[in-house]
Amino acid sequence: MPTSPTKVRQAYVCSGCGASLNKWAGRCPDCGAWNSVEELPGVPPTGRGRQGYAGAADSARVLSLEAVSPERETRTSSGIAELDRVLGGGLVAGSVVLIGGDPGIGKSTLLLQAGAALSASLGPERPVLYVTGEESPQQVSLRARRLGLSGAGIRLLAETGVERILAAASSEQPRVLVVDSIQTTYTDLLPSAPGSVSQVRETAAQLVRWAKQGDTCVFLVGHVTKEGALAGPRVLEHMVDTVLYFEGEAGSPYRLVRAVKNRFGAVNELGVFAMTDRGLKEVRNPSAIFLSRHDQPVPGSLVMITREGTRPLMVEVQALVDESPLANPRRVALGLEQNRLSMLLAVLHRHGGLAMFDRDVFVNVVGGVRITETAADLAVLLAVLSSYRDRPLDLELAVFGEVGLSGEIRPVPNGPDRLREAAKHGIKRVIAPKGNVPKGGVEGLEILEVRSLKEAIDGV
Ligand code: TYD
Ligand code: MG
């Protein structure tokens, strides 16, 4: 039965995961969140039947993929090498980048510094337009002064209405547009409050549409909820080209910028900064900060060679194995996946002959790095073993390799890169999977190639 043309279809969306629903529900059927479903403004019914679209086809132009000659992707350096790295080599014209992170982590500081560096290199014809919806122009200027930045090429706009932001941007034609933050912007088209899902979705959509029509690179600042997801729907992540997360531990000066989605480069690329009293400083040699320097070897501590994006990284992993008073001993993994730790302990029991079912096991990755790759497996197990035996490992030893369920040690990507990074940082001995070592070895390193967990345990 055809819907009457005047009837408006109501739509609902979950603010947690962005799922669309056609009726309201107290709990999102997709992500299970309570009270997260919001009403979107009504959309007129579509569905015209096949014939109904016939006239519209003239205006759409279908191309053959072969006939499209790709324009060379033009990249501009942001003036901050660590930011360029996470972006995949610089800013792409017409792209939209979302930067998420906790309040106070340094998002505004980073964009202001990048803006100043950019405008210094681009010159005054194509300025950087910084739209501030959270701070007054005076506050931004005060910060710029404190950071010792010249604000010459930065144009400021204190505005939260997206239509007026885009009107200003269209007349300024900036090279870079920063919107700080997307949660404070709103569109006149919708009655809901700024920060609500429908507002965030619609304003972001307008900004994305505008960016795609020109060569301005748009940065959107987004807040992160207590659970660590970007506030507003996940939909925001689907709309933009690149999503960066700004992370850091409370009390630590180090800040990590991680690419979690990038249409123009590698994901999981990591940029490392330190927050100082003169703003963010790049950390060019991050391995140095993730190794806590012990003078004496301590049980349970071991250096692993991991990789973040395209860069090998040396990180210290610490384990503590202790008698447990609990019926269900604890397995706590910080910076690693908990289930992976349980799996590794089972492998250690079955193939290494060491039982941990009456012990609590804690594993921590130093410096607040999150390790997601399996190459950390072997280092975690050897650190646990070292704590269990209360026997320290050599300070000049580093380890990498994936552990399989049958106790085999599997090679991981980019073995030679990892080994070279280790040699650069004064490591003398490495335990690595067989097949990951280049012919002829690596200068200055004694490498033990292992095929099974047993060989690795015998080797330490
Ligand atoms: P900010 O960029 O305002 O964070 P966000 O935009 O992510 O909310 O960062 C503010 C924090 O950074 C604040 O806690 C103070 C600190 N900070 C410094 O330590 N040094 C500095 O030079 C600046 C500008 C900020
Ligand atoms: Mg801010």
- pLDDT for position 132: 95
80 shares its domain with 199: yes
275/294 same-domain check:
no
For residues 332 and 222, state if they share a domain: no
Q: Is the pLDDT of residue 6 over 60?
A: no
Q: Is 132 in the pocket of ligand 1 (CB under 6 A)?
A: no
Q: Using a 6 Å cutoff on CB, does residue 295 contact ligand 1?
A: no
- The residue whose C-alpha atom lies closest to atom 8 belonging to ligand 1 is 104
Question: Is 437 found in the same domain as 335?
Answer: yes
- Among 407, 330, 328, 402, smallest CA distance to 362 is for 330
For residues 379 and 259, membership in a common domain is answered with no
Cα-based distances in Å from 313 to 235, 246, 249, 424: 32, 18, 18, 11
Regarding predicted confidence, which is higher, 228 or 103?
Answer: 103
Instruction: State which residues have CB under 5 angstroms from ligand 2, the bound ion.
Output: 108
CATH of the domain at 441: 3.30.230.10
**3-state DSSP call for residue 298?**
coil
- Most confident listed range (165-174, 239-248, 276-285, 365-374): 165-174
Give the helix ranges, DSSP H, for 6-60.
Answer: 49-52
pLDDT of residue 60: 73
* Average pLDDT value for residue range 67-93: 85
Alpha carbon of 200 to ligand 2 centroid (Å): 17
- According to DSSP, residue 137 is labeled H
As to burial, measured by CB atoms within 10 angstroms (0-12 exposed, 13-18 middle, 19+ buried), residue 176 is buried
Residue 445 placed within a domain = yes
**Per-residue pLDDT at 225 exceeds 70:** no
pLDDT of residue 167: 96
The CATH number given to whatever domain includes residue 110 is 3.40.50.300
Q: Is position 166 within any domain?
A: yes
pLDDT tier at 457 (50, 70, 90 boundaries)? Answer: very high
Residue 411 reports pLDDT greater than 90: yes
Q: Are residues 17 and 150 in the same domain?
A: no
Question: For 87-137, how does the pLDDT look when each residue is reduced to its tens digit (9 = 90+)?
Answer: 988 999 999 999 998 888 999 999 999 999 988 877 777 889 999 999 999
Please check whether residue 149 lies inside any domain of the structure.
yes
- Given a cut of 80, whether residue 152 has pLDDT beyond it is no
pLDDT score recorded for residue 42: 61
- Please give the average per-residue pLDDT across 183-208, as a whole number: 89
Q: Name the band, by pLDDT with cuts 50, 70 and 90, for residue 370.
A: confident
Same domain assignment for residues 143 and 230:
yes
Q: Average pLDDT in the 211-230 region? A: 82
Inside any domain, residue 118:
yes
List Cβ<8 Å contacts ≥24 apart for 269-274: 269/85, 269/86, 269/88, 269/308, 269/309, 269/310, 269/311, 270/85, 270/86, 270/308, 270/309, 270/311, 270/313, 271/82, 271/83, 271/85, 271/86, 272/82, 273/82, 273/106, 273/110
pLDDT mean over 381-398: 94
184 CB within 6 A, ligand 1: no
The residue from 284, 300, 321 where one domain ends is 284
- Same domain for 278 and 296, yes or no, is no
Tell me: do 309 and 454 sit in the same domain.
yes
The percentage of residues in the chain with a pLDDT greater than 70, rounded to a whole number, is: 91
* pLDDT tens digit sequence for 23-66: 888 998 888 888 888 877 665 555 566 666 666 656 677 888 88
Residue 421: inside a domain: yes
Q: Are residues 248 and 272 in the same domain?
A: yes
What domain range includes position 293?
A: 288-459
449 and 365 within one domain: yes
**52 within a domain of the structure (yes/no):** no
Query: Is residue 193 assigned to a domain?
Result: yes
Domain boundary (284, 311, 328) is at 284
Q: Of 284, 310, 345, which residue constitutes the final position of a domain?
A: 284
Residue 103's pLDDT is 86
Average per-residue pLDDT for the chain: 87
Best residue for ligand 1 mutational test, from 181, 254, 275 (most atoms within 8 Å of Cβ)? 275
Are residues 307 and 250 part of one domain? no
Of the bound ligands, which one is closest to the alpha carbon of residue 104?
Answer: 1
pLDDT of 5 > 60? The answer is no
Distance (Å) from CA 104 to ligand 1 centroid: 5
312 Cβ below 6 A of ligand 1: no
In a domain, 205, yes or no: yes
Question: What pLDDT is recorded for position 125?
Answer: 77
Measured from the Cα of 109, ligand 1's closest atom is 2
DSSP string, 169-191: HHHH--SEEEEE-GGG-B-TT--
Number of domains present in the structure of the chain = 3
3-state helix, strand, coil in the chain (%, to 5): 30, 30, 40
